[in-house]
């Protein structure tokens, strides 16, 4: 009987220590959910005549969805190098989260039109 009680005490103490010392993972889970479901602050459409709208303001961690509304393939890239859409066919869209508090310029390959993405710090 004493051995059984001692065993129960050891198991209970171990469980208490493990739960006190471990992270519940809620921050990791929250980050994974935010990455899987980005907060889209704006949808921008690109046509041969340019980006609509031409300027977007976001909070850090928010995203834009960029739609290729042109009749030809385009690749969209930002300066600084935070964003590269890869080849986007007409009608394709890509969602991108801008990671740093900066002003980005996004351009379509072969075009001189730019989208300005202003990323501000979270309040």
Q: For residue range 21-43, what is the model confidence (pLDDT) as tens digits?
A: 444 544 444 333 344 566 888 99
DSSP state of 117: E
What CATH number was assigned to the domain covering residues 39-120? 2.60.40.420
pTM of the entire structure?
Answer: 0.66
Higher-pLDDT residue of 13, 119:
119
Q: For residue range 87-121, what is the model confidence (pLDDT) as tens digits?
A: 999 999 999 998 889 999 999 988 889 999 999 99
CB under 8 A, 24+ apart: contacts of 86-92: 91/67, 92/67, 92/68
Would you state the structure tokens that stand for residue 77, as one six-digit string? 């890239």
């Amino acid at each position: 009987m004493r051995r059984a009680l001692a065993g129960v005490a050891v198991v209970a103490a171990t469980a208490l220590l493990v739960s006190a010392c471990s992270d519940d993972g809620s921050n990791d889970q929250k980050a994974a959910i935010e990455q899987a479901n980005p907060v889209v602050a704006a949808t921008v459409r690109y046509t041969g005549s340019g980006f609509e709208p031409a300027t977007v303001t976001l909070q850090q961690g928010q995203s834009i969805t960029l739609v290729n509304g042109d009749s030809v393939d385009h690749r969209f890239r930002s300066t600084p190098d935070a964003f590269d859409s890869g080849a986007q066919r007409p009608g394709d869209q890509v969602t991108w989260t801008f990671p740093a508090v900066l002003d980005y310029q996004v351009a379509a390959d072969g075009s001189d039109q730019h989208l300005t993405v202003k990323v501000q710090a979270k309040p």
